[in-house]
Amino acid sequence: MKIRLLAGGCALAALTFSGLSATADPADDTLVLNGETEMVTHTEKAPDYIDGLTEQYSGWLFREADTRVMQADDFDNPGMLGVEAAAEVWNTVEGSEGKSCASCHEDVETSMKGVRTQMPKYNEAKGTMYTMEMYINECRTERMGAEEWGWTSDPMINMTALISSVSRGMPMNVAVDGPAKPFWEQGKEMYYTRYGQLELACANCHEDNYGNYIRADHLSQGQTNGFPVYRLKQGALISQHNRFKGCIRDTRAETFKEGSPEFIALELYVASRGNGLSVESPSVRN
Ligand code: HEC
Ligand code: HEC
């Protein structure tokens, strides 16, 4: 398949998606974490409410073999250093109330198991959609009397990696109906909106062209089941909203901020496209 998109008559803005022979397919590989937990990285059937996908593929299947291997073993996964750092913070008392996360939640592996599969979710008490970052900051400010963490600060990303890691192997399962519905609809609309000088929507790259190459990048479905992701290129764990920002910037558009209502709605919609795939966080990508 070869598609050429020309934007605004500007030759520099021409982007080519190309299928480079057989290498364009997702890898035929199975992810077994630490030789124990078999992960679902491919399903034959996407959820019915996702019109544009028949099958689902984790981004893991579009990365090179050495990157895939790195994620399969906790000793080789550089993202696990962030998880370890957060495990210490979990037990550290901070703030005016003299509490740590563990004071209330006790063992993270038990109390936070499955939490990542449902994020983001509708918070009844607050009457709005809540991401994991928002729950964490609510606990810090309202329950610990501590300062809130910045959305992309190290302690926040490390903590989301720790909490997510205890759900690894469990299927993503965000709610798309009930009070979540209007947020989901908003996110869906954004997913199909063309942004920037290149006039590209998320769907143009991650739905119409996954498997193809864009420049040197092997395009995946843009799934979020591996977030936060350790990006080798950046040498750091990054959040979903940081990734969304980068993708929108690549279309040469103004972008939204991390934590903005727009990105929260988009996070929900993109997560729902991956319902059924295993949580992989922290995953490794280039
Ligand atoms: C004083 C007790 C207390 C402390 C300390 C506390 N939490 Fe919480 N946490 C709660 C309560 C209560 C809820 C449930 C809130 C709700 O359902 O709206 C909660 C909810 C959460 C959730 C959402 C769980 C879910 O099932 O959706 C996360 C994530 C979380 N806390 C993380 C943390 C982290 C990380 C820390 C330490 C930085 C922390 N909490 C400190 C009491 C606490
Ligand atoms: C011009 C093409 C393009 C557009 C438009 C685009 N992306 Fe991406 N995106 C990429 C490339 C290239 C990568 C890195 C390779 C990959 O994983 O597909 C990527 C990666 C991602 C990833 C990381 C996947 C993983 O497994 O780590 C997510 C999530 C993502 N994009 C979401 C989005 C969302 C949401 C939008 C719309 C706001 C969007 N992208 C728009 C090209 C694009």
pLDDT, tens digit, for every residue of 14-67? 467 776 544 578 999 999 999 999 999 999 999 999 999 999 999 999 999 999
The verdict on the CB of residue 217 being under 6 Å from ligand 2 is yes
Mean pLDDT estimate for the chain: 93
How much is the pLDDT for 125?
A: 96
| Banded pLDDT at 234 (limits 50, 70, 90) | very high
Asked if the structure places residue 15 within a domain, the reply is: no
Q: What pTM, to 2 d.p., does this model score?
A: 0.95
In a domain, 12, yes or no: no
Residue 259 inside a domain? The answer is yes
Summarised one tens digit per residue, pLDDT across range 241-269 is 999 999 999 888 889 999 999 999 999 99
Domain holding 136, by residue range, is 37-284
Indicate which ligand has the atom closest to the C-alpha of 15: 2
Q: Is 10 a catalytic residue?
A: no
Ligand 2 probe mutation, 220, 230, 233, most atoms within 8 A of CB = 220
Q: How many domains does the chain have?
A: 1
CATH code, domain with 85:
1.10.760.10
Residue 56 is assigned to a structural domain of this protein: yes
Consecutive H or E run containing 168: none
Residues near 31 by beta carbon (within 8 Å), at least 6 away in sequence: 38, 39, 41, 58, 60, 68, 71, 72, 278, 280
* Residue 3 forms part of a structural domain: no
Give the Cα separation of 223 and 286 in Å (integer): 15
For residue 16, the ligand closest to its alpha carbon is: 2
Residue of 169, 247, 253, 276 with catalytic role: 247
Q: How far apart are CA 162 and CA 153, in angstroms?
A: 14
Decide: 220 and 62 in contact? Cβ < 8 Å.
Answer: yes
Asked, for residue 30, whether it belongs to a domain, the answer is: no
pLDDT confidence of 130, banded at 50, 70, 90?
very high
Q: Which pLDDT value is given to residue 215? A: 85
In a domain, 103, yes or no: yes
